[in-house]
Amino acid sequence: MNRLSYFFLNIIFMLFVAVIVLASYLYIHPQVVRNRLLLAGRDELEKEIQQKKSEIKKLADMQQDFTSNHEFVEYIGHQNKRVWENEVVFIFDAD
């Protein structure tokens, strides 16, 4: 084989490698983008979960206050305009 044949073989080999690299990029790139979007969505959902957990904790604390703290019950009653001043709301049993 002469020099021109080696030159064409090298060019064909380089084109073959370039096509493989391009095909790999075109195959992998959409998956990488999709994974990034999924991770961003997961992060947003985790933030929402943490917010809901804090809301649930606040509601559980408020529920606990309703069962044990008579000042809180009176405060909520006054706030909702369901109880007048100096009116007995509930009588709590002392444990």
pLDDT one-digit tens code per residue, 19-49: 999 999 999 999 999 999 999 999 999 999 9
Residues near 73 by beta carbon (within 8 Å), at least 6 away in sequence: 65, 66, 89, 90
Is 84 domain-assigned?
Answer: no
Is 73 domain-assigned?
Answer: yes
Is 35 domain-assigned?
Answer: yes
Question: Residue 80 above 80 pLDDT?
Answer: no
- Average pLDDT of the chain is 86
The Cα 39–Cα 33 span in angstroms is 10
Is 43 domain-assigned?
Answer: yes
Output the pTM of the full model. 0.51
Q: How open is the CA angle 18-23-26, to the nearest 5 degrees? A: 125
Mean local confidence (pLDDT), 1-25: 91
Is 85 domain-assigned?
Answer: no
Domain that holds residue 25: 3-79
Q: How many domains does the chain have?
A: 1
Is 88 domain-assigned?
Answer: no
Is 95 domain-assigned?
Answer: no
